[in-house]
Amino acid sequence: MTTTREGTCCAEMAMVCLTDFEEYAKEHLSKATWDYYAAGADECCSRDDNLLAYKRIRLRPRILRDVSLSDTRTTVQGTEISFPVGIAPTAFHCLAWHEGEMATARATEAVNTCYITSTYSTCSVEEIAAAAPNGYRWFQLYVYRDRKLSESIIHRVEALGYKALVLTVDVPYTGKRRNDIRNQFKLPPHLKVKNFDGVFQEATGPAGEEYGVPANTLDPSISWKDVYWLQSLTRLPIIIKGILTKEDAELAVEHGVQGIIVSNHGGRQLDGGPATIDALSEIVDTVQGRIEVYLDGGVRTGSDVLKAVALGAKCVFIGRPAVWGLAYKGEEGLKEVLHILNDEFRLSMALSGCRNVAEINRNLIQFSKL
Sequence ranges of the binding site for FMN: 89-91, 118, 140, 168, 241, 296-300, 319-320
40 — phi, psi (to 5°)? Answer: -120, 170
How do beta strands 238-243 and 259-262 pair? Answer: parallel
Three-state DSSP state, 139: strand
What's the Rg (C-alpha) of the chain? 20
Q: How far apart are CA 210 and CA 174, in angstroms?
A: 9
Is 255 labeled as catalytic in the residue annotation?
Answer: no
- Which residue, 325, 309, 284, is CA-closest to 72? 309
Residue type at 116? I
Q: How far apart are CA 214 and CA 105, in angstroms?
A: 27
Cα 220–Cα 222–Cα 223 angle in degrees, nearest 5: 135
Residue type at 290? R
Annotated binding-site members for glyoxylate: 36, 142, 177, 263, 265, 268
CB of 42 closer than 8 Å to CB of 178: yes
Annotated binding-site members: 36, 89-91, 118, 140, 142, 168, 177, 241, 263, 265, 268, 296-300, 319-320
CB of 291 closer than 8 Å to CB of 258: yes
Q: Which of 28, 98, 265, 339 is catalytic?
A: 265
Q: Which residues fall within 8 angstroms of residue 261, CB to CB, at 6 or more apart?
A: 166, 239, 240, 241, 242, 243, 294, 295, 296, 317
Q: How far apart are CA 331 and CA 108, in angstroms?
A: 9
Q: Which whole-number Å values give the CA distances from 103 to 217, 245, 296, in the listed order?
A: 28, 35, 21
Q: How far apart are CA 364 and CA 335, in angstroms?
A: 29
Q: How far apart are CA 274 and CA 50, in angstroms?
A: 8
Catalytic residues: 265
